[in-house]
Structure 1
Amino acid sequence: MKQTVVPSQYLQIALDLARRIAKGELPEGSRIYGRSVMASEYNVSPETIRRALRLLADMKVVEVKPQSGAVVLSADSARRYIVNFEESADVRALRQQLKELMAEYADLSRRLSDTVTALMKSRDTFAAAGEPLPNYEVPIPKGSPLIGQSIGALKFWQSTGGTIVAIRRGQTVILSPGPYAELYDGDVIVLVGSPAAAEAAHNLIAPKEVINDPI
């Protein structure tokens, strides 16, 4: 019964033989054991040994002679083979790392898309799905009754019909603030909704003295 050849086996055997040649354990001009003997030594099939020797022969490390086995040609070629093998291993590691990063990027892109979709569907703010998503910036002035209060406590959407999608605080932008996010003097609310929602938001945050002061 023929044994399935595993590429990593003959590659590792070829590397081991190259290292032994580079160290002088198998000197130039010496004859390497027959395939059957090596197969027993490495606990693999003779076909695996044949592939390993064929690989070294292609790199001019050994010469495979029919009916005579393999003869060591060059320790320098063996050293070059070792270097090339290690460089190939580095390339394989980088490819694996790239594959993992691309998978992480794909997952992040999917999550971002899901979040945007959920945000668009979270509130029935717009008359039709095909309409654009208008957004407005509403600065919080000094003396606003909203200062120090959380978005959840204000029931902002119920009061205005608009949805807060971000809070701009100086150079910082807080995206998708939760119900426990508090508002502070100088914050700028970014909301999506109708023009009426934006007007209602301006009225909600205006200081009481401005609203009640007759002109």
Structure 2
Amino acid sequence: MKEGKARVLNEKEFSRVVNTARRYAHAKRNVALLYFSHGLGLRAKEMASLKVRNVQDEDGQIIEEITLSREMTKGAKQRCAYLTSPKIIVAIRDYLDERLEIEGALFSLDAALFKSQKGSAFTPNTMQQLFHRLYDVARLPGASSHSGRRTFATNLIEKGVDIKAVSTLMGHSSIAMTAQYVEDNPRRLKQISSEIF
């Protein structure tokens, strides 16, 4: 890990933080947040800005395409995130079902998707603090709210997704910016080198 950059988590470390989150208060919310961060590459500000209606329609169905408006993103650049991964869908469905059960008739599509302990919307700063606590309890030093974005980009590149597509999913204006997010994996580099001839 380079100095000053958020830690990229491997599969085992991601499982560790998810399993740790499941043992504490607000487990379903925190698991959904971890999946949104690592599986959709969302920033803390973007997750804090989401409303229930961004992910669920009036019939209670999960919406596959999340539109992140200019106000929600860094650099005022609108983009889409795709809620199509079965694991992410299960995590958000579990959380929304719990919210509906607790809030009943007060449950609203216009409410913040992720509510803080006090029942209000997170600010970008309180969202970052929550991620810091989750990683701290899971004993993952160097991990922060930005770890999910860096892990998301690195995993896509390692799976062979072209950097232009990754750049679009990340909402970057240049491929050079996306390249800065990707962690070089020595195993992957050895594999690439072994396949030259």
Q: TM-score range by the shorter chain?
A: under 0.3
TM-score, scaled to structure 1: 0.25
Higher RCO (C-alpha under 8 Å, 6+ residues apart): 2
Q: Which has the higher strand share?
A: 1
TM-score, scaled to structure 2: 0.27
